[in-house]
């Protein structure tokens, strides 16, 4: 079924055919199989690594990579300009992510940590390969995002949503590098581990099920995850506005939808920054202090005020008509 949306009083119909980027789709298929295997394995293999089931990490990385690869496959398939360049970087993203998941899965099967592990020559080599892969994915994603900015991506609101999502996603990916530096404790007493997810305690403390995000200390995986998936969250917000436009007249104006997406993007980026600040202070996501709560409330209030000002002209016009 072809979905249509209202664009400044006209119906906007998306392209009837999308040329999906195949290597990224193949990766998505492989990740679906890996996720299914890891889910089964976590209930049949009771081994734990840093306090979590050995297969939790392959499971969550497979699901995240599946979502990420499908999104970029779809985006690259819509491009009109620079498609060859985007296709090459898309294939690079697929290969590099596949390499990373092979290392993560292999480490889980061996019962050792995949990240920050310099205890043995093999684990050091694995972590080095992952490091190169992570840097390569960021560079390739940056190039793909640049190509996005050279293309029309539908109406103004859709363009803003996709571009802002890509930019914030790049920032989120970059936040992952905060975890790769050795902590002061590791430098003072090196035990073969250089880098950490948590701030304030060693990795492996109490955490949320499967996700493993720390519940007693800061965790840099949270802003990394939240920022990275802006690539999906911001466009999904736009889709929600397009659906609501069928019932809310004010949303049929593309300028209103675009402004709301700018507000959503700014709020999303602000919360990503807040989660980063919270983690760097060694504070758990489930134990925010007054400062964190205050800033969070201020961000929400600013978003609500911006939304109210965005809708005000439309409401004023409706009142004049009545």
Q: pLDDT tens for residues 158-196?
A: 999 999 999 999 999 999 999 888 888 888 878 787 888
Q: What is the pLDDT of residue 9?
A: 41
Is the distance from CB of 56 to CB of 212 less than 8 angstroms? yes
Name beta bridge partners: 117. 193
Checking phi first, is residue 151 left (phi over 0); if not, alpha (psi -120 to 50) or beta?
beta
Report DSSP letters for 147-179, one per residue.
HHTTS--SSHHHHHHHHHHHHHHHHHHHHGGGG
Kindly report the average pLDDT of the chain as a whole number.
88
Q: Looking at the predicted structure, is the pLDDT value of residue 209 above 90?
A: no
Mean pLDDT of 275-279: 96
Tell how far CA 84 is from the center of its chain. 25
Q: What is the pLDDT of residues 14-54, one digit of tens each?
A: 445 667 899 999 999 999 999 999 999 999 988 988 778 89
Q: What is the pLDDT of residues 101-114, one digit of tens each?
A: 999 999 999 888 88
> Which domain range does residue 17 map to?
5-321
Tell me the two tokens of residue 190: 């090196």
Please tell me the total count of domains within the chain: 1
Q: What is the pLDDT of residues 196-207, one digit of tens each?
A: 888 888 777 777
Cα–Cα distances in angstroms (integers) from residue 83 to residues 20, 22, 47, 66, 87, in the given order = 11, 13, 45, 22, 6
Q: What is the pLDDT of residue 73?
A: 94
Cα–Cα distances in angstroms (integers) from residue 68 to residues 3, 79, 163, in the given order = 23, 17, 15
């Amino acid at each position: 079924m072809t979905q249509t949306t209202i664009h400044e009083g006209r119906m906007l119909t998306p392209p009837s055919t999308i040329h999906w980027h195949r290597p990224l789709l193949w990766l998505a298929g492989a990740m679906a199989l890996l996720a299914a295997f890891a889910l089964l394995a976590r209930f049949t293999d009771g081994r734990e690594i840093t306090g979590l089931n050995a297969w939790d990490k392959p499971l969550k990385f497979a699901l995240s990579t599946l979502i990420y690869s499908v999104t970029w496959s779809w985006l690259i398939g819509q491009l009109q300009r620079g498609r060859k360049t985007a296709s090459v970087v898309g294939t690079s993203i697929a290969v590099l992510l596949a390499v990373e998941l092979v290392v993560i899965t292999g480490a889980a099967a061996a019962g050792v940590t995949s990240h920050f592990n310099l205890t043995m020559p093999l684990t050091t080599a694995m972590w080095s390969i992952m490091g190169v892969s992570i840097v390569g994915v960021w560079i390739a994603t940056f190039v793909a995002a640049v190509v996005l900015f050279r293309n029309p991506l539908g109406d103004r609101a859709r363009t803003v949503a996709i571009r802002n999502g890509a930019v914030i996603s790049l920032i989120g990916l970059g936040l992952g590098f905060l975890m790769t530096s050795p902590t002061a404790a590791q430098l003072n007493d090196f035990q073969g581990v250089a880098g950490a997810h948590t701030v304030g305690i060693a990795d492996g403390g109490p955490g949320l099920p499967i996700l493993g995000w720390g519940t007693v200390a800061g965790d840099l995986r949270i802003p990394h995850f939240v920022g990275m998936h802006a690539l999906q969250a911001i466009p999904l917000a736009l889709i929600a506005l397009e659906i609501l436009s069928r019932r809310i007249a004010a949303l049929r104006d593309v300028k209103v939808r675009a402004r709301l997406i700018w507000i959503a993007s700014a709020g999303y980026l602000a919360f990503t920054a807040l989660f980063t600040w919270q983690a760097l202070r060694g504070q758990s996501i489930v134990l925010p202090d007054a400062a964190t709560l205050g800033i969070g409330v201020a961000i929400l209030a600013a978003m609500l005020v911006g939304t109210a000002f965005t809708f005000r002209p439309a409401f004023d016009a409706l009142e004049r008509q009545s």
